[in-house]
Structure 1
Amino acid sequence: MNAMKYIMLMNLTDWLVSSSVHVIKLGTFTRDSHGNMEGFRVSKVNTVDRQRAHTLVTRTGCKARVVVTATNTNDQWVISKSDQKHNHALCTPAMTPFMRSNRAVSKADIDEAITLKEVGVGTSQVMNYLTQQAGGYHNVGFTHKDLYNALQRGKAKEIVDGDVNALIAYFDYKKHDDPGFFMTYSVDESGALYNLIWLDSTSRSDYTCFGDVIAFDTTYKDNLYGRPIMPIVGVNHHHNTIVFATAIIADETSQSFEWVL
């Protein structure tokens, strides 16, 4: 390709929503994309006495890259730099269906798998059935692990929906015991819980007295749902940590933080 100026017919707004970009100067956006073999494996993975089974090395320090740039003058992207020199064997056409970016479990396959699971069919047997139905592993579009993960996500969503209803009912009950209790939440397009924040009358009083400086931490993710739990804290006149509010957010994007604060 040799860094040719190829105009990519891609909508600027849609691309920005789903990709990370860097502002290199006013009105200019760029994205530097590398292959999945860029860089090297972290050293701790190569320890001899590692308890987990060693896996194949998948990072070879490959320098292949494509840089695309866009300006506000039009809604088009330009390939400004391209390096196609790989230091590893490329995926063969026969193996491309098994690349992670090409694999996905369709809703129809998930629904069929759930129906089979409900009558006692094991996941391996479900996978074999779907593979035969598609005409082979190259046509099914996903692996056994992909199917297992998709089924587990469905189970987790059922648990989440039930727990959310119970949590909101509990918070509504708390309002009767504590008139100063406050809770609000937002939902996504499907009606599932997106962000949630709550605080009681003690927290509101503490914020009035000591809310000049606040801090928050989103490192608490060790929970069933993998959602960041975000305590909003401060320090009182005894230098003790106090909690002003607690939030459960969908992700660690600026939109979620703005919603909470």
Structure 2
Amino acid sequence: MTFNTLEDAAKFYKDYSKATGFSTRVQSTNKKGNEIKNQLITCSRERKWKSKISPTEKTNPSVGLNYPARIYIHILKDIGIWIISKIVLHHSHPCCPNQAEMLKQHRELSMFVRHTIENNEEADIRPSKTYQSFVAAAGGHRELNFIEKNVRNYITREVRNVLELDDAKEFGKYLLRMKEKNQNIFFELELKKDQSIKLAFWADARSRAACEYFGDVISFDTTYNTNR
């Protein structure tokens, strides 16, 4: 079996793992310079581990197992395509195809779910309420291919991040409008590459006049002791 890219080969194994009832992870990648030569993808439970708890202190002793399911992928340089050179299908643990969607790798939020989360967040509906609405609509937790944590993560990483970027732009527009109303207002706004605020300073006409009259400035360090 051949693939045009390494990503296509990895996706093939990921789709297979979802249909079979397990998840995958990249265990090792060999490179020559900046180019990948081959890659080993295994079952995500494949590892040998040793418990930090002494066996004599354990109430239910257990041992680590080695899960051999894996594929080896490498590139044929002459023709520039990827092939699976070796595959091991055996697992030393039971696979559950019916519950594969609940494995972390296979959890997905559809466009409809994302749009609903965004609308509910804008309406100040709590994430727990949003998730419960999905549960009720689907007919139970088992009918969903995501959990409440995925809803919260999406809000934190995507929705609120976008809102913060919009806030920076709107703040800049607000300062410009204030400048148009009163030319004595001074401000300086500097954004980072991701359009978030790096530096912001402003002083209205009254503050500038007071500073010129009294000649004193009080500065507050709002970041003091926050990283300790």
Tell me the TM-score normalised to structure 2 length: 0.53
Q: CA deviation at 1:119?
A: 3.8
Aligned residue number for residue 76 of structure 1 = 81
Q: Which has the larger radius of gyration?
A: 2
Quick one: structure 1 residues 193 and 163, their matched pair in 2 at CA, closer, same or farther if it must change by over 3 Å? closer
Match of 1:107 among 111, 126, 134: 111
Which residue type is aligned with residue 4 of structure 2?
N
Contact 2:75 2:82 in 1 (8 A): yes
Superposed counterparts of 1:22-37, under 5 Å? 22-23=30-31, 29-37=37-45
Quick one: structure 1 residues 83 and 108, their matched pair in 2 at CA, closer, same or farther if it must change by over 3 Å? same
Cα RMSD between the aligned structures?
Answer: 4.3
Q: CA deviation at 1:70?
A: 1.4
The DSSP-based 3-state class of the residue aligned with 1:78 is strand
Does residue 147 (structure 1) correspond to residue 151 (structure 2)? The answer is: yes
Q: Deviation digits for residues 149-183 of structure 1, max 9, x if unmatched?
A: 1112221342355458989x5448xxxxxxxxxxx
Whole-angstrom distance in 2 between the partners of 1:76 and 1:66: 16
Match of 1:61 among 63, 66, 82: 66
Q: CA deviation at 1:94?
A: 1.4
Aligned residue number for residue 4 of structure 2 = 11
Contact 1:28 1:72 in 2 (8 A): no
Q: Deviation digits for residues 15-58 of structure 1, max 9, x if unmatched?
A: 59x98842379x982111111112245756x589xxxxxxxx9x
Whole-angstrom distance in 2 between the partners of 1:112 and 1:47: 48
Unaligned runs of 5+ in 2: 12-25, 56-61, 173-187, 199-225
Which residue type is aligned with residue 11 of structure 1?
N
The DSSP-based 3-state class of the residue aligned with 1:94 is helix
Q: Alignment length, in residue pairs?
A: 160
Aligned residue number for residue 85 of structure 1 = 90
Q: CA deviation at 1:71?
A: 1.5
Which residue type is aligned with residue 102 of structure 2?
F
Q: CA deviation at 1:95?
A: 0.5
Q: Deviation digits for residues 63-96 of structure 1, max 9, x if unmatched?
A: 3221011112224322211222322222x12111
Aligned residue number for residue 223 of structure 2 = none
Contact 1:28 1:71 in 2 (8 A): no
Match of 1:39 among 28, 44, 47: 47
Tell me the TM-score normalised to structure 1 length: 0.47
The DSSP-based 3-state class of the residue aligned with 2:108 is coil
Quick one: structure 1 residues 78 and 133, their matched pair in 2 at CA, closer, same or farther if it must change by over 3 Å? same
Q: Which has the higher contact order (CA 8 A, sep 6+)?
A: 2
Quick one: structure 1 residues 156 and 43, their matched pair in 2 at CA, closer, same or farther if it must change by over 3 Å? farther
Contact 2:43 2:67 in 1 (8 A): yes
The DSSP-based 3-state class of the residue aligned with 1:29 is strand
Unaligned runs of 5+ in 1: 1-6, 49-56, 173-184, 187-191, 197-222, 224-261
Superposed counterparts of 1:1-261, under 5 Å? 7-8=1-2, 10-12=3-5, 21-23=29-31, 29-41=37-49, 46=53, 60-90=65-95, 92-153=96-157, 154-160=159-165, 162=167, 170-171=189-190, 192=194
Quick one: structure 1 residues 165 and 114, their matched pair in 2 at CA, closer, same or farther if it must change by over 3 Å? closer
Identical positions, percent: 16
Contact 1:24 1:30 in 2 (8 A): no
